[in-house]
Amino acid sequence: MNENDYRMQYPLWNVAAILGLSLITIPLFSAFNHYLSSEEYGFEIVIEGWMVLLFILGILISVVTIILWTIATRKAKRESSRINLMSVYPPELNENDEGMSYITHEGLRKVYAFYSLALPVLVCIFFLIPNNYFTKLNVMLVVLGLALVQNVIYYLSTRHLMKEEI
């Protein structure tokens, strides 16, 4: 097993996709300003230069990620018949050998430990934040941030264990 193995690179593809989605999400949610008064409810769209640049950068990162991911997945499919592109399970859970199962288990255990700590802390923080600061953008950024950290933790732990195994 080497670092060029598709199962090893899979979390990095997720990280790139999350970064692209984040750069698209920030300008979209920042552009809409909602207002509510006793007489009316409405919203306005305010587009600034930095929003357009972030949005275009996010689209470019997403398109490049999709193209490169498709190429890498097709290459991995040719090299290994165990990878099913239409599977419901991510590649890290479809393990046939005991060594990789152990590495996957350890990586997922660290991710579970992260979530068992992060979710209660986030709930406490959200209870302390006033309601007017609790926007869709904040929620989306927190969810995308959790997904980003999850994939980085999984990648680093499996990479560390793979280097020990080799």
Query: What sign results for the dihedral spanned by CA atoms 20, 71, 77, 162?
Result: negative
Instruction: Compute the CA torsion angle 66, 68, 71, 74 (nearest 10 deg).
Output: -60
- 20-53 pLDDT, tens digit per residue, is 988 888 888 877 776 667 777 777 777 778 888 8
Q: What is the pLDDT of residue 136?
A: 77
Per-residue pLDDT of the chain (166 residues; tens, 9 = 90+): 555 677 778 888 889 999 998 888 888 887 777 666 777 777 777 777 888 888 899 999 999 999 998 888 888 777 765 555 566 566 666 566 677 788 888 888 999 999 999 999 988 888 888 777 777 788 888 899 999 999 999 999 988 988 876 6
Name the pTM for this structure.
Answer: 0.75
Helix axes 6-31, 136-165, angle to 10 degrees: 170
Q: What is the pLDDT of residue 77?
A: 74
